[in-house]
């Protein structure tokens, strides 16, 4: 329980670290952003496979795992229908002639989108610790934390461009990290109370993470002309997690 709480704070805190970096580098070059986000995509993909889906197969059976992955993706797809995609919202600066209220409306949708994505990511980290396989749990939590840093960075600029005061930007952005802490503890509690749901919960969490990588992160990194950099960065992140899984687990 104590380790899960520490990890929850670390996972949510990574978003806050990203927020601080976002204030330091308010106009992040697309090349740097795509490289970092591509690396994070590789880390998350490896974490989903090695830390969630493979353990799900070990604890349950292949049909439970497949069903859990699909349900996780479908649930996040349904959530996406209620909110806009990240790469559609980061273009607020392209709408300089729209009124401020329109900007603020889109910013609030943006924050909602990030929060919705952070909840299942937090649950994924919590489910990992609920399985009591500490090595895999750390792999998943680290993968999510690394992904949260660039995510926290990209929250800042749209909020500032919409005219939101800097202090309020900080608290709104940090709120998305708090959501992840809540999700982590929910995932841990659910698996601890009902261990029989562990295989399905692991697969569900893995499905949500793969969905985020494919639907959000890869399209974002391939939309500014730095596709090759993003691809090799993703491979680097994936390889790093393979090495960590081999030497730590």
- DSSP state letter for 163: T
What is residue 31's three-state secondary structure?
helix
For residue 235, the model assigns a pLDDT of 95
Please state, in angstroms and as integers, the Cα–Cα distance from residue 197 to each residue in 73, 99, 210, 249, following that order. Answer: 18, 48, 20, 23
Cβ burial 192-212 (10 Å sphere, 16+ → b, else e): beeeebbbbbbbbbbbbbbbb
Q: Tens-of-pLDDT digits for all 249 residues of the chain?
A: 666 677 677 777 787 888 888 787 766 677 877 887 788 788 878 878 887 898 889 887 899 999 999 998 898 788 767 655 544 444 444 444 445 555 555 555 556 656 666 776 677 777 767 666 667 677 777 777 776 777 677 667 667 766 777 888 788 778 878 887 888 887 777 776 666 777 888 888 888 888 888 887 788 788 888 899 999 999 998 998 888 777 765
- Give pLDDT, residue 201: 81
> Residue 10, Cβ neighbours under 10 Å: how many?
19
Angle at 103 between CA 97 and CA 107, to 5 degrees: 150
Please tell me whether the overall predicted TM-score, pTM, comes out greater than 0.85 for this model: no
pLDDT at residue 122, rounded to an integer: 76
Identify the pLDDT of residue 95. 46
pLDDT of amino acid 70: 95
Q: Distance (Å, rounded) from C-alpha 227 to C-alpha 76?
A: 25
Q: What is the pLDDT of residue 227?
A: 92
Among 182, 48, 166, CA closest to 115: 182
Burial of 236 (0-12, 13-18, 19+ CB in 10 A): middle
What are the pLDDT digits (tens) for 125-152?
777 676 666 676 777 777 777 767 776 7
8: helix, strand or coil:
helix
């Amino acid at each position: 329980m104590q380790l899960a709480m520490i990890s929850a704070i670390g996972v949510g805190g990574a978003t806050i670290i990203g927020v601080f970096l976002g204030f330091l580098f308010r106009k992040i070059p697309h090349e740097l952003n795509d490289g970092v986000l591509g690396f994070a995509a590789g880390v998350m993909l490896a974490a989903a496979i090695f830390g969630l889906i493979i353990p799900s197969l070990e604890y349950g059976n292949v049909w439970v795992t497949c069903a859990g992955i699909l349900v996780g993706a479908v649930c996040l797809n349904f959530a996406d229908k209620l909110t806009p995609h990240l790469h559609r919202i980061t273009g607020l600066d392209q709408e300089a002639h729209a009124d401020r209220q329109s900007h603020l409306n889109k910013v609030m949708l943006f924050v909602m989108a990030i929060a919705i994505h952070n909840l299942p990511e937090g649950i994924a980290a919590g489910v990992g610790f609920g399985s009591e396989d500490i090595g895999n749990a750390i792999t998943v939590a680290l993968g999510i934390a690394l992904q949260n840093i660039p995510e926290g960075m990209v929250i800042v600029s749209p909020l500032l461009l919409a005219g939101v005061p800097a202090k309020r930007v900080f608290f709104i952005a940090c709120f998305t990290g708090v959501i992840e802490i809540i999700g982590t503890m929910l995932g841990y509690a659910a698996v601890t109370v009902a261990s029989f749901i562990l295989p399905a919960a692991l697969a569900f969490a893995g499905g949500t993470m793969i969905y985020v990588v494919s639907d959000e992160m890869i399209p974002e990194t391939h939309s500014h002309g730095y596709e090759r950099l993003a691809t090799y960065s993703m491979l680097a992140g994936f390889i790093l997690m393979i090495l960590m899984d081999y030497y730590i687990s």
